[in-house]
Structure 1
């Protein structure tokens, strides 16, 4: 809005200037022409500003959570697009049947996660069980990466990397479904009214950063697949963009655990106090998410073994470029 308001005042001032020049020199057609152009620009920016003001008024009526959830829903759309791209190159029947099985488990998890808003207690219980069941299959996949990477053709390697990335994308989508889900009676939780604007921005930013990283990675893998090149990334400072993914999730889960307030629709689940429901679900997601991230990184980097839980992440947020292979200067 700021840019359009500045342009509105600027074009309005120019209109007044040429109107005055045209009034003093009626025979000068150039002044009249410039005046009409400035008038049209003023009308255009005024109409845009009116619309943005109306949007801002409606936006101010929403709760903090509702505003953030709009960005989370956009992040979920990015994940859906990434999954579509990854599916194009992941369907290689000659490798990694275990990943197919693992993805099937993830699909089941997502289906059961969102199948019934009316039975939230059942949904949370199923989610916990499904998340736990993923850990064994991810461990098996991680143990095979080193030997498989040496034997793969570039397209087989790309398909393998895509399948590993699909796993983390689906876990991310499960998480986004959880924090954007509502029932017929309303949202499942709200945020502590004492939360400050900086924390709100961090909550908004975390899922968005994860989705943007994974979307860019999917585009990168599709591009390499078309060029028949292996998706091996150097272990350098630029790879931190991918390595930060579990850190974004962990910080988001921590903030949600601290500031979320479950609403009555989630009160009674196996006699657990409502404050513990989301927190326990968040904790159950962390381990498979780290392992799935390791699985993805093993497929993308030199296979020296990753443990994303032990990595150090600074607070700097890096902007994802369109090409992972191009090292932009810091």
Structure 2
């Protein structure tokens, strides 16, 4: 494997690090590989399988996962690479070995690292010391793969947002890593965003500042409110996520009390656009959304989950196979 300096490697850390065009390319590549995968064409499959044949892709996961693990391993296998899952019980990270030492060792033997970690600082440390691209598969600040998959899902079900047909995406829930990337993603693709959080919970200011710059450039809008019903009015997409993130279980009782009245239900649905869609990155808990919305005719949560595979394919294609060179993929 050819070594590279940190300055020459492009990592996928957050959507706000990408230009609008670069992010659009990632969504387009996800769509492209979904078509190839669904067509089951042997010639196409063989051609793509050769792209990373004989290579290894590491998955460093300090948090458990269903969709992220399956999609990352599946995407690696699609391109011929051997996925290597490295859970917190499998390697010395954080036990007998420093983050730096682990990063140097692992990145010397693989072509890419998918990292699902606790702190954003861990992602930054990996990027600083890794000899290969880092794909942020979740940290406490960002979740870019989810944003790629979500934009593909919206495009498939509602089409592309334009000035003549501006889509409104409404988030009802916590100010967390998922909405941090999703809000930026929506604004980059000309959608309006309304975010309703409980009183006492505010969006991270760096995300708000970045979002406002995109709004000024693209003519999109960002609404921040504590009124979930207000945010739901005219929404083309209603979306939520867990109210109690992994690692916050100790505060579950207090968090659920704080989120009282924020469960998405038929009242929110009645305020949304008649053809609205409901999204959730899963796993879902009942306090976040009622069964009739989650399993109802407007729900696209399982299409959304499947699209995580194609988002991972797009990330590998752009950042590993094409070495972060977006220009040749336009």
TM-score range, shorter chain: under 0.3
- Given the two structures, how large is their TM-score scaled by the length of structure 1? 0.24
| Structure holding more helix per residue | 1
Q: Which one has a bigger Cα radius of gyration? A: 1
The structure carrying a bigger strand percent of its residues is 2
* TM-score of the aligned structures, taking structure 2 as reference length: 0.24
